[in-house]
Amino acid sequence: MTPRKLKVATVQMDATPSPVDERLDRAERLVSEAVRGGAQLVVLPELFNTGYDYTPANYALSEEIDGRTVSWMRDMAADHQIYLAGTLMLRDVDEVYNSALLFAPDGQYWRYDKQFPFLWERAFFREGHGPTIAKTELGDIGMLICWDSAHPEAWKRYAGQVDMMLVMSSPPRIASGELVWPDGARMRFNTLGLQSEYDFTGPDMNTRAAWMQVPVVHASASGAFKSPLPLAQISVGVPMLLRPSMWSRWKEADTALLECGYAPSTKIINEQGETIAHVEGDGDGCTLAEITLADEKPKPERYQPPMQHTDTLTYLFADVVA
Protein backbone atom coordinates (compact mmCIF):
# COMPACT_ATOMS: atom_id res chain seq x y z
CA MET A 1 0.00 0.00 0.00
CA THR A 2 1.04 3.61 -0.61
CA PRO A 3 1.26 6.03 2.33
CA ARG A 4 -1.57 8.57 2.31
CA LYS A 5 -1.07 12.31 1.91
CA LEU A 6 -3.31 14.74 3.77
CA LYS A 7 -3.42 18.56 3.75
CA VAL A 8 -4.03 19.86 7.26
CA ALA A 9 -4.29 23.31 8.84
CA THR A 10 -3.85 24.48 12.40
CA VAL A 11 -5.20 27.74 13.77
CA GLN A 12 -3.87 30.18 16.36
CA MET A 13 -6.27 32.63 18.02
CA ASP A 14 -5.77 35.44 20.51
CA ALA A 15 -7.29 33.99 23.69
CA THR A 16 -8.38 37.28 25.25
CA PRO A 17 -12.05 36.67 26.14
CA SER A 18 -14.55 38.33 23.81
CA PRO A 19 -18.19 37.69 22.79
CA VAL A 20 -18.87 34.26 21.31
CA ASP A 21 -20.39 35.66 18.11
CA GLU A 22 -17.29 37.78 17.53
CA ARG A 23 -14.96 34.85 18.10
CA LEU A 24 -16.95 32.57 15.81
CA ASP A 25 -16.70 35.22 13.08
CA ARG A 26 -12.93 35.34 13.54
CA ALA A 27 -12.72 31.55 13.52
CA GLU A 28 -14.80 31.42 10.33
CA ARG A 29 -12.36 33.73 8.56
CA LEU A 30 -9.45 31.52 9.62
CA VAL A 31 -11.23 28.32 8.56
CA SER A 32 -12.02 29.89 5.18
CA GLU A 33 -8.38 30.88 4.76
CA ALA A 34 -7.33 27.30 5.50
CA VAL A 35 -9.87 25.92 3.03
CA ARG A 36 -8.57 28.24 0.30
CA GLY A 37 -5.18 26.69 0.94
CA GLY A 38 -6.58 23.22 0.32
CA ALA A 39 -6.98 22.00 3.91
CA GLN A 40 -8.97 18.80 4.39
CA LEU A 41 -8.71 18.99 8.19
CA VAL A 42 -8.69 22.21 10.26
CA VAL A 43 -7.89 22.32 13.98
CA LEU A 44 -8.95 25.22 16.23
CA PRO A 45 -7.43 25.92 19.68
CA GLU A 46 -8.79 25.13 23.12
CA LEU A 47 -11.90 27.17 24.01
CA PHE A 48 -11.68 28.96 20.68
CA ASN A 49 -15.27 30.18 21.05
CA THR A 50 -14.85 32.04 24.35
CA GLY A 51 -11.20 32.74 24.98
CA TYR A 52 -9.39 31.69 28.13
CA ASP A 53 -9.50 33.01 31.70
CA TYR A 54 -10.60 32.02 35.21
CA THR A 55 -13.56 34.36 35.75
CA PRO A 56 -17.07 33.41 36.94
CA ALA A 57 -18.34 34.34 33.46
CA ASN A 58 -17.24 30.87 32.37
CA TYR A 59 -20.21 29.31 34.15
CA ALA A 60 -22.62 31.08 31.82
CA LEU A 61 -20.52 30.39 28.71
CA SER A 62 -20.87 26.61 28.78
CA GLU A 63 -23.15 25.29 26.04
CA GLU A 64 -25.19 22.19 25.37
CA ILE A 65 -24.54 19.86 22.45
CA ASP A 66 -27.23 21.60 20.39
CA GLY A 67 -25.87 25.09 21.19
CA ARG A 68 -24.61 27.71 18.77
CA THR A 69 -20.93 26.74 18.81
CA VAL A 70 -21.58 23.08 18.07
CA SER A 71 -24.07 24.05 15.36
CA TRP A 72 -21.49 26.42 13.92
CA MET A 73 -18.85 23.68 13.82
CA ARG A 74 -21.25 21.28 12.12
CA ASP A 75 -22.17 23.91 9.52
CA MET A 76 -18.55 24.85 8.84
CA ALA A 77 -17.57 21.23 8.26
CA ALA A 78 -20.54 20.67 5.94
CA ASP A 79 -20.25 23.95 4.02
CA HIS A 80 -16.53 23.50 3.33
CA GLN A 81 -16.56 19.68 3.13
CA ILE A 82 -13.77 19.41 5.68
CA TYR A 83 -13.08 17.82 9.05
CA LEU A 84 -13.10 20.46 11.79
CA ALA A 85 -11.90 20.17 15.41
CA GLY A 86 -11.96 22.51 18.41
CA THR A 87 -12.93 22.59 22.09
CA LEU A 88 -15.61 24.31 24.15
CA MET A 89 -17.08 24.13 27.64
CA LEU A 90 -19.84 21.57 27.10
CA ARG A 91 -22.73 21.22 29.51
CA ASP A 92 -23.72 17.57 29.93
CA VAL A 93 -26.70 17.09 32.28
CA ASP A 94 -25.44 18.60 35.57
CA GLU A 95 -21.72 18.72 34.73
CA VAL A 96 -19.49 20.82 32.48
CA TYR A 97 -16.56 19.38 30.53
CA ASN A 98 -13.86 20.88 28.34
CA SER A 99 -14.77 18.86 25.26
CA ALA A 100 -12.98 18.51 21.95
CA LEU A 101 -15.33 17.83 19.05
CA LEU A 102 -14.21 16.58 15.65
CA PHE A 103 -16.84 17.02 12.93
CA ALA A 104 -16.94 15.20 9.59
CA PRO A 105 -18.48 16.82 6.50
CA ASP A 106 -21.59 14.63 6.84
CA GLY A 107 -22.31 15.84 10.39
CA GLN A 108 -20.91 12.83 12.24
CA TYR A 109 -18.81 13.86 15.22
CA TRP A 110 -16.51 12.44 17.88
CA ARG A 111 -16.09 13.83 21.40
CA TYR A 112 -13.10 13.80 23.74
CA ASP A 113 -13.25 15.31 27.26
CA LYS A 114 -10.12 16.81 28.80
CA GLN A 115 -8.72 14.26 31.26
CA PHE A 116 -6.39 16.53 33.25
CA PRO A 117 -7.86 20.00 33.92
CA PHE A 118 -4.99 22.33 34.79
CA LEU A 119 -4.97 23.71 38.34
CA TRP A 120 -7.73 26.40 38.51
CA GLU A 121 -9.58 24.95 35.52
CA ARG A 122 -11.08 22.49 37.99
CA ALA A 123 -13.26 25.34 39.24
CA PHE A 124 -15.06 25.34 35.88
CA PHE A 125 -15.15 21.83 34.43
CA ARG A 126 -14.74 18.21 35.45
CA GLU A 127 -12.14 15.72 34.26
CA GLY A 128 -12.93 13.33 31.43
CA HIS A 129 -12.15 9.64 31.37
CA GLY A 130 -10.02 7.90 28.78
CA PRO A 131 -9.09 8.40 25.14
CA THR A 132 -11.26 8.87 22.08
CA ILE A 133 -10.25 7.44 18.73
CA ALA A 134 -12.16 9.00 15.84
CA LYS A 135 -12.42 6.43 13.06
CA THR A 136 -12.78 8.74 10.08
CA GLU A 137 -12.39 8.42 6.32
CA LEU A 138 -9.09 10.27 6.72
CA GLY A 139 -7.80 7.68 9.19
CA ASP A 140 -7.98 6.95 12.91
CA ILE A 141 -7.41 10.16 14.87
CA GLY A 142 -6.58 10.66 18.56
CA MET A 143 -7.24 13.83 20.53
CA LEU A 144 -5.73 15.56 23.58
CA ILE A 145 -6.39 18.95 25.17
CA CYS A 146 -3.54 21.12 26.46
CA TRP A 147 -2.36 19.86 29.88
CA ASP A 148 -3.31 16.30 28.88
CA SER A 149 -0.34 16.37 26.52
CA ALA A 150 2.05 16.86 29.47
CA HIS A 151 1.12 13.37 30.70
CA PRO A 152 3.03 10.50 29.04
CA GLU A 153 0.27 8.05 29.97
CA ALA A 154 -2.21 10.03 27.87
CA TRP A 155 -0.03 9.55 24.79
CA LYS A 156 0.59 5.91 25.63
CA ARG A 157 -3.13 5.12 25.45
CA TYR A 158 -3.12 6.09 21.78
CA ALA A 159 0.19 4.51 20.80
CA GLY A 160 -0.15 1.98 17.99
CA GLN A 161 -3.86 2.72 17.58
CA VAL A 162 -3.99 5.97 15.60
CA ASP A 163 -2.74 7.45 12.34
CA MET A 164 -2.37 10.98 13.70
CA MET A 165 -2.93 13.11 16.81
CA LEU A 166 -4.74 16.42 17.31
CA VAL A 167 -3.85 18.60 20.31
CA MET A 168 -5.82 21.75 21.17
CA SER A 169 -4.31 24.11 23.75
CA SER A 170 -4.47 27.52 25.46
CA PRO A 171 -1.53 27.37 27.90
CA PRO A 172 -0.73 30.64 29.70
CA ARG A 173 2.90 30.93 30.81
CA ILE A 174 1.99 31.22 34.46
CA ALA A 175 5.52 30.67 35.73
CA SER A 176 6.66 33.92 34.12
CA GLY A 177 3.54 35.84 35.14
CA GLU A 178 2.94 38.54 37.72
CA LEU A 179 0.20 39.18 40.25
CA VAL A 180 -0.94 42.78 39.78
CA TRP A 181 -3.00 44.65 42.42
CA PRO A 182 -5.31 47.61 41.71
CA ASP A 183 -2.83 50.01 43.33
CA GLY A 184 -0.17 48.97 40.82
CA ALA A 185 1.79 46.69 43.13
CA ARG A 186 3.29 43.76 41.26
CA MET A 187 4.69 40.44 42.41
CA ARG A 188 6.39 37.75 40.35
CA PHE A 189 4.08 34.76 40.57
CA ASN A 190 6.82 32.14 40.74
CA THR A 191 8.25 33.79 43.86
CA LEU A 192 5.20 32.39 45.67
CA GLY A 193 6.42 28.87 45.02
CA LEU A 194 3.11 27.97 43.36
CA GLN A 195 4.37 27.26 39.89
CA SER A 196 7.59 26.04 38.36
CA GLU A 197 8.62 26.32 34.73
CA TYR A 198 7.00 24.14 32.09
CA ASP A 199 7.00 23.92 28.30
CA PHE A 200 5.07 20.77 27.43
CA THR A 201 3.96 22.14 24.04
CA GLY A 202 7.55 22.65 22.90
CA PRO A 203 10.20 20.00 22.19
CA ASP A 204 8.44 17.42 24.38
CA MET A 205 5.47 17.39 22.00
CA ASN A 206 7.79 16.80 19.05
CA THR A 207 9.36 13.94 20.99
CA ARG A 208 5.91 12.32 21.45
CA ALA A 209 5.28 12.52 17.69
CA ALA A 210 8.60 10.83 16.95
CA TRP A 211 7.97 8.16 19.60
CA MET A 212 4.50 7.35 18.27
CA GLN A 213 5.71 7.80 14.67
CA VAL A 214 2.57 9.75 13.73
CA PRO A 215 1.97 13.39 12.78
CA VAL A 216 0.72 15.77 15.47
CA VAL A 217 -1.34 18.86 14.66
CA HIS A 218 -1.25 21.40 17.50
CA ALA A 219 -3.56 24.44 17.66
CA SER A 220 -2.85 26.96 20.40
CA ALA A 221 -3.48 30.43 21.80
CA SER A 222 -1.71 33.77 21.66
CA GLY A 223 -2.11 37.18 23.23
CA ALA A 224 -2.04 38.43 26.82
CA PHE A 225 -3.55 36.43 29.68
CA LYS A 226 -5.12 38.52 32.45
CA SER A 227 -7.38 36.93 35.06
CA PRO A 228 -8.27 36.80 38.75
CA LEU A 229 -7.55 33.53 40.53
CA PRO A 230 -10.38 31.35 41.83
CA LEU A 231 -10.22 31.04 45.63
CA ALA A 232 -7.34 33.50 45.49
CA GLN A 233 -6.59 33.59 49.22
CA ILE A 234 -6.31 29.81 49.29
CA SER A 235 -4.25 29.77 46.07
CA VAL A 236 -1.59 32.06 47.49
CA GLY A 237 -2.17 31.60 51.24
CA VAL A 238 0.05 28.63 52.04
CA PRO A 239 3.14 29.92 50.21
CA MET A 240 2.64 33.35 51.79
CA LEU A 241 2.84 31.80 55.26
CA LEU A 242 6.52 31.23 54.54
CA ARG A 243 7.06 34.80 53.33
CA PRO A 244 6.18 37.37 56.04
CA SER A 245 6.92 40.26 53.68
CA MET A 246 3.87 39.23 51.62
CA TRP A 247 1.39 38.83 54.47
CA SER A 248 -0.02 42.33 54.00
CA ARG A 249 -1.19 41.32 50.52
CA TRP A 250 -2.98 38.13 51.53
CA LYS A 251 -6.35 39.74 52.37
CA GLU A 252 -6.27 41.52 49.00
CA ALA A 253 -5.44 38.42 46.96
CA ASP A 254 -8.88 38.31 45.37
CA THR A 255 -8.38 41.81 43.93
CA ALA A 256 -5.16 40.88 42.11
CA LEU A 257 -4.96 39.78 38.49
CA LEU A 258 -2.52 37.22 37.16
CA GLU A 259 -0.90 38.58 34.01
CA CYS A 260 1.30 36.65 31.56
CA GLY A 261 1.57 35.62 27.93
CA TYR A 262 1.09 32.41 25.97
CA ALA A 263 3.65 30.01 24.57
CA PRO A 264 3.91 30.43 20.76
CA SER A 265 3.43 26.81 19.75
CA THR A 266 0.81 26.45 17.00
CA LYS A 267 2.49 23.95 14.71
CA ILE A 268 2.32 20.84 12.55
CA ILE A 269 4.76 18.05 13.40
CA ASN A 270 5.56 15.16 11.07
CA GLU A 271 5.94 11.52 12.03
CA GLN A 272 9.68 12.02 12.58
CA GLY A 273 9.09 14.70 15.19
CA GLU A 274 10.05 17.61 12.95
CA THR A 275 8.06 20.85 12.93
CA ILE A 276 7.11 21.32 9.27
CA ALA A 277 4.88 24.39 9.70
CA HIS A 278 4.15 26.89 12.47
CA VAL A 279 2.33 30.17 12.99
CA GLU A 280 4.71 33.07 13.46
CA GLY A 281 4.02 36.04 15.67
CA ASP A 282 1.08 36.92 17.89
CA GLY A 283 -2.59 37.34 17.10
CA ASP A 284 -4.84 35.20 14.90
CA GLY A 285 -3.35 33.11 12.12
CA CYS A 286 -3.16 29.70 10.51
CA THR A 287 -0.62 27.49 8.81
CA LEU A 288 -0.92 24.50 6.48
CA ALA A 289 1.18 21.50 5.58
CA GLU A 290 0.91 18.16 3.84
CA ILE A 291 1.42 15.25 6.19
CA THR A 292 2.00 11.57 5.47
CA LEU A 293 -0.05 8.84 7.12
CA ALA A 294 1.52 5.38 7.20
CA ASP A 295 -0.25 2.55 5.38
CA GLU A 296 -0.22 0.59 8.66
CA LYS A 297 -0.53 2.06 12.14
CA PRO A 298 2.97 2.64 13.53
CA LYS A 299 3.89 1.14 16.88
CA PRO A 300 6.53 2.64 19.18
CA GLU A 301 9.83 0.80 18.96
CA ARG A 302 11.09 1.80 22.41
CA TYR A 303 9.96 3.10 25.77
CA GLN A 304 8.46 6.57 25.76
CA PRO A 305 11.06 9.21 26.68
CA PRO A 306 10.32 11.20 29.85
CA MET A 307 9.05 14.76 29.69
CA GLN A 308 12.13 16.98 29.79
CA HIS A 309 10.58 20.43 30.13
CA THR A 310 7.94 20.05 32.86
CA ASP A 311 9.12 19.32 36.38
CA THR A 312 7.64 17.47 39.32
CA LEU A 313 6.57 20.62 41.18
CA THR A 314 4.31 21.62 38.29
CA TYR A 315 2.57 18.23 38.27
CA LEU A 316 2.24 18.36 42.06
CA PHE A 317 0.34 21.65 42.07
CA ALA A 318 -1.65 21.10 38.86
CA ASP A 319 -2.78 17.53 39.48
CA VAL A 320 -2.56 16.88 43.23
CA VAL A 321 -2.89 20.13 45.18
CA ALA A 322 -5.59 21.41 42.79
pLDDT in tens, 262-305: 988 999 999 999 999 999 989 999 999 999 999 999 999 889 98
Question: Is 286 part of the annotated catalytic residue set?
Answer: no
Rg, C-alpha atoms of the chain: 19
Q: pLDDT tens digits for 34-52?
A: 999 999 999 999 999 999 9
Going from N- to C-terminal start, the domains of the chain cover 4-171+200-223+262-298
Tell me the pLDDT tens digit for each residue of 58-96: 999 999 999 999 999 999 999 999 999 999 999 998 899
Class of the domain covering 4-171+200-223+262-298: alpha beta
Strands 109-113 and 133-135, sheet pairing: unpaired
The question of whether 114 is a catalytic residue gets the answer: yes
Residues 196-203: what's their mean pLDDT?
A: 77
Name the catalytic one among 46, 63, 121, 271. Answer: 46
Is 46 annotated as catalytic? yes
Report the pLDDT value the prediction gives residue 193, as an integer from 0 to 100.
52
Residues 269-297: b if buried by 16+ CB within 10 A, e if exposed: bbbebebebbbeeeebbbbbbebbbbeeb
Q: Characterize the bridge pairing of strands 257-261 and 267-269.
A: unpaired
pTM: 0.94
Among residues 63, 146, 271, 286, the one annotated as catalytic is 146
Q: Which of 5, 28, 33, 114 is catalytic?
A: 114
- Supply the pLDDT for residue 294: 93
When mean pLDDT is compared over 81-90, 181-190, 244-253, the highest value belongs to 81-90
